[in-house]
Structure 1
Amino acid sequence: MNKKFVLGIYDDEDVLLHAIENIRATGTKIYDVFSPYPVHGIDDVLGIKRSRLPIVAFFCGITGTSFALWMQIWMLGFDWPMIIGGKPHIALPAFIPVTFELTVLFAAFGMVITFFIVSRLKPSLRVNVFDKRSTDDKFVMAIEVKDGVTDLSALNKLLRTNGAVEVNEKEVVK
């Protein structure tokens, strides 16, 4: 399936941020913005909600903590109880290093796996680069064109009046 996009190419990040505000104010939906480096405040201007990944990290960390404590208590207290250095079978202070490490491990792997699932990233993913200059020195704003709904000349004029130095059309295989 092919999708058609109109690309507005910008030289300056401040001009881009103001353009995003103005274009969104007209009711035009911006598909995505590509930047050669992170732009402070662009998520707020684009209306992107805050990530829920920290919540996932917290629950994965709690799972790691619970697993570590359960594993050590079971192994050293019930399955194969041994007296090591005169300590009791269930010595919680001795369990702190392993518990910490498994908490961090579960949280890290949980966040990475969740990120890949939510982002739909997979080994066979084919990434479409809208404009190669977006990896070097230009900012690219992509707006999806819907057949029979979007007026290309009005969209072209809207991008140019909001500071785009160049406006292109591109068809992408999705």
Structure 2
Amino acid sequence: MNKKFVLGIYDDEDVLLTAIENVRAAGTKIYEVFTPYPIHGIDDVLGIKRSRLPIVAFMCGLFGTCFALWMQIYMLGFDWPMIIGGKPHLAIPSFIPVTFELTVLCAAFGMVITFFIVTNLKPTLKVRMLDKRSTDDKFVMAIEVKEGTTDLAALSKLLRSNGAIEVNEKEVVK
């Protein structure tokens, strides 16, 4: 299945941000914007919602805390109770280092695994490179062309009127 894109190439991030606002205000859906470095505020301009990854991190960290406390209380209090240094079986203050480490470990692994699942990243992933200059010094706004519904001339004119230095069409084999 082939997808067709119209690419607006920009060489200034402020012009790009203004162009994104104007293109979205004109009712055109932007497929993706590629930049050589992160741009502050571009997520808000593109209308991308805030990530729920911190919620996942909190839940995984909470699981790690509960698991660490349960494991230590069970092992040292019920399974194999021993008196170590005169401390009671359930010496909660001595459980803090292990609990902290397991909380951080579960939160970190949980975030990484969730990120890979949500973004569909896998070792066999082939990255679509629409324009190689987006990794160097240009900003690329990609708009997907739907057959029969997108007017290419009007779209090209819209991008040029909003500061695009170059407008290209690209077909990508999926």
Displacement of 1:28 in angstroms is: 0.1
Tell me the residue number matched to 2:153.
Answer: 153
Gaps of 5+ in 2: none
Residue of structure 2 equivalent to 1:3: 3
Counting aligned pairs with the same residue, the percent is 84
Q: Deviations over 1:107-158 (max 9, x none)?
A: 0000000011010111100001111110010000000000000000110100
1:173 deviation in Å? 1.8
AA in 2 matched with 1:134:
S
User: Gaps spanning 5+ residues in structure 1: where?
Assistant: none
Question: Which secondary structure does the structure 2 equivalent of 1:156 belong to?
Answer: helix
Distance 1:55 1:130 in 2: 33
Supply the AA of the counterpart residue of 1:141: M
User: Match for residue 73 of structure 1?
Assistant: 73
| SS of corresponding position for 1:142 | strand
The aligned counterpart of 2:130 is: 130
Per-residue CA shift, 1:91-119, capped at 9, x if unaligned?
Answer: 00000000000000000000000011010
* AA aligned opposite 1:36: P
Separation (CA, whole Å) in 2 of partners of 1:94 and 1:140: 55
Alignment of 1:4-153 (within 5 A): 4-153=4-153
The TM-score normalised by the length of structure 2 is: 0.99
- State the Cα deviation string for residues 34-92 of structure 1 (Å, max 9, x = none): 00000010000000000000000000000000000000001111111111111011100
RMSD: 0.5
Question: How many residues were matched structurally?
Answer: 174
Distance 2:169 2:82 in 1: 72
SS of corresponding position for 2:75: helix
